[in-house]
């Protein structure tokens, strides 16, 4: 059954702003894991409502077909909720169909965590002052490597400062089921590959200086990525797409 869980808001005479946080798969554990990440990011005048996809939605979104199936399952349930929320976050790291579908049906800002993480990454590269710096993505299953690369290049209008995508080989729901030791080993291997200097002798090869966590289920793994980069002598900035998305929406609500 679809789960809606409003977080407590600070008492105020003003009506609180409301964010709708959408997990389009049907795994409630993934939604639950978002709450302690998002709650501290909300100003006192904001509250969040959490939506989990219905049982007809895939338990894990592992490819383009799963994305489409989850959008089909979730859209009818989401439409009645739009009028009561000031902004919408799609907490799936993909070019998810719900992003354009909901944008076409509400004047409220709607963003996906992939898009938000790209914006944050570009800003962080500019702040680093490193000429030609690049960002990359550590994601789940290997199928996402080409899908996310295509989505980012479409956002940027080309490769731009994008270093590419590496994968852990774990599906999103497996992130919550494998042992911590295996999870950290897989994340570390993918990170070291991404931040390395690329193939020897390859013109323009350069490792990522900013790393995006390419799955909503990777919340809380920032330190694992940072440590893996240190093991190959690199210091990286890590972007959590969920945190980035909340930051973008909080900044937009009431201003645009």
Q: Are residues 90 and 126 in the same domain?
A: no
How far apart (Å, rounded) are the C-alpha atoms in residues 237 and 126? Answer: 12
Whole-number pLDDT of residue 181: 81
Q: Are residues 231 and 122 in the same domain?
A: yes
Q: Where residue 71 sits, what CATH number does that domain have?
A: 3.40.50.12500
Average pLDDT of 47-69? 95
Q: Are residues 233 and 126 in the same domain?
A: yes
pTM score: 0.86
Q: Where residue 228 sits, what CATH number does that domain have?
A: 3.40.50.1860
Whole-number pLDDT of residue 205: 43
Domain count, the chain: 2
**Domain assignment of residue 102, given as a range:** 4-113+243-252
Q: Are residues 32 and 129 in the same domain?
A: no
Over residues 12-39, the pLDDT tens digits come to 446 789 999 999 999 998 899 999 999 9
Q: Are residues 84 and 173 in the same domain?
A: no
Q: Are residues 93 and 72 in the same domain?
A: yes
Residue 199 has pLDDT above 50, yes or no: no
Q: Are residues 128 and 175 in the same domain?
A: yes
The set of residues, in sequence order, having a beta carbon less than 8 Å from that of 52 and lying 6+ positions away, is: 2, 3, 23, 25, 26, 27, 28, 30, 31
């Amino acid at each position: 059954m679809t789960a809606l869980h409003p977080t407590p808001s600070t008492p105020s005479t003003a009506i609180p702003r409301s964010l709708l946080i959408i997990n389009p798969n049907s795994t409630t554990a993934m939604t639950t894991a978002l709450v302690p990440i998002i709650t501290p990011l909300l100003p006192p005048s904001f509250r969040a409502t959490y939506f989990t996809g219905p049982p007809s939605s895939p338990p894990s979104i592992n490819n383009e077909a799963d994305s489409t199936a989850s959008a089909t399952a979730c859209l009818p349930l989401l439409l009645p909720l739009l009028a009561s929320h000031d902004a919408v976050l799609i907490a799936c790291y993909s070019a998810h169909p719900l992003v354009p579908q909901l944008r076409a049906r509400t004047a409220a800002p709607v963003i996906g965590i992939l898009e938000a993480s790209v914006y944050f990454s570009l800003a962080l590269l500019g702040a680093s002052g490193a000429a030609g710096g690049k960002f990359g993505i550590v994601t789940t299953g290997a199928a996402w490597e080409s899908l996310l690369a295509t989505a980012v290049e479409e956002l940027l209008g080309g490769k731009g400062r994008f270093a590419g995508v590496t994968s852990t080989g774990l599906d999103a729901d497996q992130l919550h089921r494998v042992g911590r030791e295996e999870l950290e080993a897989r994340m570390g291997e993918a990170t070291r590959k991404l931040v390395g200097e690329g193939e020897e002798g390859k013109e323009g090869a350069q490792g990522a200086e900013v790393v995006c966590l390419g799955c909503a289920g990777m919340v809380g793994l920032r330190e694992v990525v940072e440590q893996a980069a240190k093991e190959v002598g690199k210091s990286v900035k890590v972007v959590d797409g969920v945190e980035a998305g909340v930051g973008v929406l909080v900044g937009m609500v009431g201003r645009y």
